[in-house]
Amino acid sequence: MKIRKCTPIVALDVTDLDSAVSIVNILGGSISWYKIGSVLFTKEGPSAVEAIKKFGKNIFLDLKFYDIPNTVAGAVKQCVRLGVDMLTVHASGGKNMIERAVETSKEYAEKEGGNPPKIIAVTVLTSFDENDLKDDFGLNAPLEDITKKLVSVVMQAGADGIVASPNELKMLRKIFGEDLTIITPGVRPVWSQKSDQKRVMAPAQAKKDGSDFLVIGRPIIASTNPKKSAEKILDEIRKAGNEQ
Ligand code: C5P
């Protein structure tokens, strides 16, 4: 298995811009990627992205678009204009929707003279289990089969990557190879609390199993010393895979 760089993305899971900016200030040069999700974005709007971009940081905009292809394409255009670096769509939006997102990202970035945001698809939400799939969608298949089916659709549509649980990393790398970008939340250093995450993995293991980006929220932003926690995690990631 190829050992990747494995970059941490700090989840700005706060409700106002001042708190978000304060986290970015505290972490300084240690962290280069930040995730802005629906809570902060709904409260502060595009200015949340603009403010963090001013620090020269990369933005992962996690709004999980799911709509008709034309509407998703329109939203992707606005992400290009904002200078977003990666964004999420739902894989269950289907091949046409994802294809339009990918095409729009490339075409509009070329037109505007920026970099195309990477299109990342969310497969099955971790809040879903097999019973929900059966009860809500009438799907009688194992969760892993649905995930695999959705990842193959995502790849056919030309998307850059997926969000996956760290526990799925080995299986996904084996089936889908090394080129797919895989982003994993649910990462916890051993010294940190699990909070409400049920299936967690340490950063070093997630790197070894093939993760490209680790989304980490509370172990850093809720820590009594966020900078020190971020440095500890970075150190753990740097060392992983270089032991032999
Ligand atoms: O604080 P914590 O490290 O658990 O934050 C993880 C981040 O990743 C949160 O922003 C959460 O919404 C997000 N996420 C997740 N599980 C998923 C998808 C996203 O925890 N399956």
Q: What is the 3-state secondary structure (H, E, C) of 130-198?
A: HHHHHHHHCCCCCHHHHHHHHHHHHHHCCCCEEECCHHHHHHHHHHHCCCCEEEECCECCCCCCCCCCC
Contact 76, 112 (CB under 8 A): no
Q: What is the CATH number of the domain that holds 124?
A: 3.20.20.70
Q: Is 49 a member of any domain? A: yes
Q: Which residues contact 17 (CB under 8 A, 6 or more apart)?
A: 40, 43, 44, 47, 48, 51
CA atoms lying within 13 Å on the CB side of residue 126: 14
Residue tagged 């900016």 (tokens): 21
* pLDDT per position as a tens digit, 178-196: 999 999 999 999 888 777 8
Q: Which domain holds residue 80?
A: 7-239
Domain count, the chain: 1
Q: How far apart are CA 154 and CA 99, in angstroms?
A: 9
Contact 207, 4 (CB under 8 A): yes
Structure tokens at 139: 């799907």
Please confirm, yes or no, whether 64 is among the known catalytic residues.
Answer: yes
Q: Is 119 a member of any domain? A: yes
Backbone angles phi, psi at 58, to 5 degrees: -90, 140
Contact 6, 213 (CB under 8 A): yes
Q: Is 1 a member of any domain? A: no
Q: 37 has which bridge partners?
A: 62
Structure tokens at 183: 């982003």
Please give the model's pTM, rounded to 2 decimal places.
0.96
Contact 27, 226 (CB under 8 A): yes
Q: Is 116 a member of any domain? A: yes
Q: Is 2 a member of any domain? A: no
Pocket of ligand 1 (CB under 6 A): 11, 13, 37, 126, 163, 185-186, 195, 197, 215-219
Q: Is 103 a member of any domain? A: yes
107 CA to middle of ligand 1, Å?
30
186 CA to middle of ligand 1, Å?
6
Alpha helices in 83-129 (DSSP H): 95-112
Low-confidence ranges of the chain (pLDDT < 50): 244
* pLDDT for the residue numbered 244: 45
152 CA to middle of ligand 1, Å?
23
Q: Is 125 a member of any domain? A: yes
The number of the ligand 1 atom at minimal distance from the alpha carbon of 195 is 4
Q: Which residues contact 113 (CB under 8 A, 6 or more apart)?
A: none
Contact 56, 87 (CB under 8 A): no
Q: Which residues contact 35 (CB under 8 A, 6 or more apart)?
A: 9, 10, 11, 12, 59, 60, 61, 62, 215
Q: Specify the residue with its C-alpha closest to ligand 1, atom 3.
A: 217
